[in-house]
Structure 1
């Protein structure tokens, strides 16, 4: 089944739904217990009983900044002009962060941006900027550049926009991953090949681009291997090193077991950021048919998410 404009709309809209659900107005974002969240979800009556709307279910900084990236891409700008547009929209987006809990690297990075001035889209290298703040706002890059022959554009935009706040490779390669995986979803590429594609196709392009761009090359190369090493380990663990065959799962793999698995390969993560990425991919693959209407009918920013999805679809098919 081809990826239609309805799938694009579902991807953007469900990314906001996942964000709002994972955030739960600050109650679930930093809750490190999957079993506790599942228990509370059950007590709420399950997803079919949750009306995702204000005031109880706002979106977090994830959706505000994802929209900023998407709306910049939807202008059709490219190159340096696009980067300044993204930086400008990130600065504007930070004015809408009351109660949305942006992360420290995002706050610091965006405060250092000076869109419209030479060099104003880059920030000093930050060895602490290893979190998911770049990954959570980059899925739309894969919607703008979804085709295999656009890989270099996808990677370059993900790297440069990602390191506006997360110049450490563990941070900005997360942006490459989330952009790449949405492009794979659009391509209908088998999901068992996604991780291998990240390591063998996208990461080498990203490394070459970093060298050619000439910014923080020494620091970036020094810190490069943590991200790629963890991915190699995870693909080995799941039997996906060749991108083929059946995935290897433990016999028992519920919320508690997932928590332990995540701790073995991940930095501390946020429930909303996990959901904003996963739900975008899910929407691109499966659409809205099986999603309860109460989960998105009155979602904050629904109109903007749907509108920008349609613009990105048109641009991706030009």
Structure 2
């Protein structure tokens, strides 16, 4: 993990994010399963992770990967500023035509239906008090691949905020995009994982808040609804004993599948772990902290749980790939993955742009 992030790490990040999505989703069967132990039992009956060939028709990627690709391919053009935002908005509109059997969330569908790429301000949608979901978080890891360096933090945050609120204008929603992008950038920097949450609260969120104010768009509503995200993250860092940015991480004495289901529920906004912008990256970080370089452990913690399992997995697996490559991952989990070529191609372009 001490080696700098190479092109192979970038490709693994994009590819394994798609693999985690397909595995956590299991063609609708696991994303909506209310029991982590039941998912693990079904996995066992399938012969375990080593036996899974994640390919069509049984293992499609979900809306998460389609929209993550839309963000990545927009960033891969090298465009900046408003030109980039219109480009990404147009790709979200296009991506929504590829949702057969992929289960996009209500805020994503509503937001994209309101985008008018190419028209002045057409990448912004009206404030939506319900826009708290994980739809922005699950498609923003690639922003950290495009802007991985500490001195690019302003670019990372502004792109995450603006692309995030194309569908999730509520801060609990779009700040999830900031978290996913930031943690990915931190992973490329090889920053210690115990510092990531503190960096989110102390480095990124103040920039995001200042940016929203400077833009003058939906400022009052955003500020009114701002605090929950940071308060819940502070609660989580306290819970794990990493609020000062140092370990050791505090884990419950028992933390198997059933206990994790309950824990993730306690992270959540409405009892469905990983559904919201704050807790999808939170569960992803929790899984990464607990798994180290063990893919199977990462999947058990980050993909096979009650709740929005594909959205937590798409984030966790992207970051894990950036840290560890594909080492130790059964090749069947990714070799014939839907959209593999697009995922790897966008990774190559993002790597070139970021170096």
Among 285, 291, 300, the residue aligned to 2:323:
285
Matched, 1:306 2:347: no
Q: What are structure 1's unaligned runs of at least 5 residues?
A: none
Counterpart position of 2:312: 274
For residue 101 of structure 1, give the secondary structure of its aligned residue in structure 2. coil
Counterpart position of 2:132: 130
Among 44, 47, 61, the residue aligned to 2:46:
44
Q: TM-score, normalised by structure 1?
A: 0.99
Among 217, 222, 225, the residue aligned to 2:224:
222
Q: 2:154 & 2:143 partners in 1: Cα distance?
A: 12
Counterpart position of 2:288: none
Q: 1:291 & 1:88 partners in 2: Cα distance?
A: 34
Q: Offset of 1:297 from its aligned partner?
A: 1.0
Q: 1:106 & 1:131 partners in 2: Cα distance?
A: 9
Among 238, 247, 250, the residue aligned to 2:252:
250
Runs of 4+ in 1 over 4 A off after TM superposition: none
Q: 1:259 & 1:95 partners in 2: Cα distance?
A: 33
Q: Offset of 1:34 from its aligned partner?
A: 1.1
Across the aligned residues of Structure 1 and Structure 2, the Cα RMSD in angstroms comes to 0.6
Q: 1:199 & 1:172 partners in 2: Cα distance?
A: 14
For residue 26 of structure 1, give the secondary structure of its aligned residue in structure 2. coil
Q: 2:41 & 2:232 partners in 1: Cα distance?
A: 30
Matched, 1:234 2:236: yes
Task: Report the number of matched residues.
Answer: 317
Aligned counterparts, 1:163-242, within 5 A? 163-242=165-244
Aligned counterparts, 1:102-121, within 5 A? 102-121=104-123
For residue 54 of structure 1, give the secondary structure of its aligned residue in structure 2. coil
Q: What are structure 2's unaligned runs of at least 5 residues?
A: 276-307
Counterpart position of 2:56: 54
For residue 201 of structure 1, give the secondary structure of its aligned residue in structure 2. helix
